[in-house]
Amino acid sequence: MRRFRRVVEGVAVAGIVLTLAGCIRPVTRTPSTPVPAVQTETATTVHEYAVDLSDDAMTAPSELPAGLRSVTVNNTGQEWHAAIFRRLNADVTMEQFTAAFQENPFGSLPLTTQLGGPDVAPGESIRGVYQFEPGTYILVDNATTPPRFTTFTVVESTEAGVQPPPAAVTVEMKEHEFVMPATIAAGTQWWQFTNSGEHLHLAGIIRLHDGKTIEDAAAWLEDEQGPPPGDEVAFWNVMSPGEQSWGELTLPAGVYWVTDGLPDPTADFASNMTLGMAKEITVTE
C-alpha cells in the first residue's frame, strides 16, 4: 500500500519537503569500494562506484571525481530504499541548507539541484549514470521512516568518464506530459530520463491490476479502502529542470502507467498525474 502511494503521490519528494525536521537523521558516511573497472568506447579504463543501502545504514563514497559517472545502488536490506542525488548550489553552505531544511523542508529544494536516482527493492541493485559537477552532494533515502541522508564531495578530475549508456527507452518529462515510446521490450535495459520542463519531475512506473485504470488509482487515494489497484515496479526520483540521467531498469511484460504525482505550483499545486502526466505503456516479450 505504501509503495503504491509513493508512486502516484510523488512521495519521493514528500519525504524531503513535508517531513518535520526533527524526523530527519543524518547518516555517517564511510567510503565504499569501487566495483570492477569498465571500458569506455575509447578503451580508457574508468571506475564504477557503489552506494550501499541497508535498513540501518548508508554507505557511499566520501569523494567522487567530476564527470559522467556510473553509480550502482545496492539494497542489502529487507525494505525498499531510495537514492536521490542532490547537488548543493555553489553559493549555499551545508549550514545554510540544514537551517533552511529545519525551518521548512520544502524551502530547501531551491538550494539544491536534483539529479534523480532509483528506488531499489530488497536484495536488488540498480546501476545509474549521472553527470556530477564539482561540489557538495546530499544523498537522500526517503523511503525510510524517518528519512535519512548523507553527504559526499565531487572534486575536479582528469579521470575519464563513462560514455552515455545506449538507451533503449528515452523518457522526456515536461509539464503535464511524458514523451516516450508507448511500447517497449521486456527485460533489463537502459532508460534515459530528461527533464525538459520548467519544474521538478519524476517517473513512477506502476503495473495496474487487470481492469484497473488511473481513475481507480485516484479514487483509491481518497480513502484507501481495499487493496491498491496497482504495484510499483520501478521509480526514477525527482529531477530538476535541464537535468539528464540514466537508469538500468527491469520490467516484465505487461501494461503499465508511468506517472508523476508531484504538485504543479502553477496549477494550484494540483498533481501532475491528474493534469496529464500519466502515460500508459505496454511491455512486450
Q: What is the pLDDT of residues 24-37, one digit of tens each?
A: 344 433 333 333 33
Residue 259, all three cell numbers? 506517472
- For 18-22, 225-229, 274-278, which range has the lowest pLDDT when averaged over its residues? 18-22
Q: In whole angstroms, what is the distance from residue 186 CA to residue 209 CA?
A: 18
In the predicted structure, residue 221 carries a pLDDT above the cut 80: no
What pLDDT digit, counting tens, does each position of 251-281 carry?
A: 999 889 899 988 888 888 888 888 889 899 9
In the predicted structure, residue 42 carries a pLDDT above the cut 80: no
In the predicted structure, residue 44 carries a pLDDT above the cut 50: no
Domain ranges of the chain: 2-155, 169-284
pLDDT score at 36: 36
- Mean pLDDT over 180-186 rounds to 97
pLDDT score at 164: 95
| Highest-pLDDT range among 11-20, 156-165, 218-227 | 156-165
Contact 152, 60 (CB under 8 A): yes
Interior CA angle at 232 toward 231 and 237, to 5°?
A: 160
Question: Distances in Å between the alpha carbon of 163 and those of 41, 99, 167, 244?
Answer: 7, 38, 11, 14
Interior CA angle at 106 toward 207 and 178, to 5°?
A: 35
Task: Please provide the CATH number assigned to the domain covering 2-155.
Answer: 2.60.40.420
**Greatest extent of the chain over all pairs of C-alpha atoms, in Å:** 56
Interior CA angle at 134 toward 129 and 136, to 5°?
A: 95
Residues 6+ apart with CB under 8 A from 36: 48
* Among candidate residues 147, 156, 138, the one with its CA nearest the CA of residue 65: 156
Percent of the chain whose pLDDT exceeds 70: 81
Domains 2-155 and 169-284 in one fold: yes
* Among candidate residues 170, 232, 216, the one with its CA nearest the CA of residue 195: 170
Confidence of residue 49 (pLDDT cuts 50, 70, 90): very high
Q: Which helix (H) or strand (E) holds 231?
A: strand 230-239
The fold adopted by the segment(s) 169-284 is Immunoglobulin-like (2.60.40)
Q: Which helix (H) or strand (E) holds 3?
A: helix 2-9
- Mean pLDDT over 235-250 rounds to 96
In the predicted structure, residue 41 carries a pLDDT above the cut 50: no
pLDDT score at 10: 56
In the predicted structure, residue 146 carries a pLDDT above the cut 80: no
At residue 100, φ and ψ (nearest 5 deg) are: -65, -40
Which neighbouring-strand residues pair with 118?
236
pLDDT score at 83: 96
DSSP letter at 105 equals G
Q: What is the CA radius of gyration of the chain?
A: 18
pTM of the predicted structure, to 2 decimals: 0.85
Higher pLDDT, 95 or 210: 95
Give the mean pLDDT of the chain.
83
- Mean pLDDT over 50-67 rounds to 96
pLDDT score at 161: 93
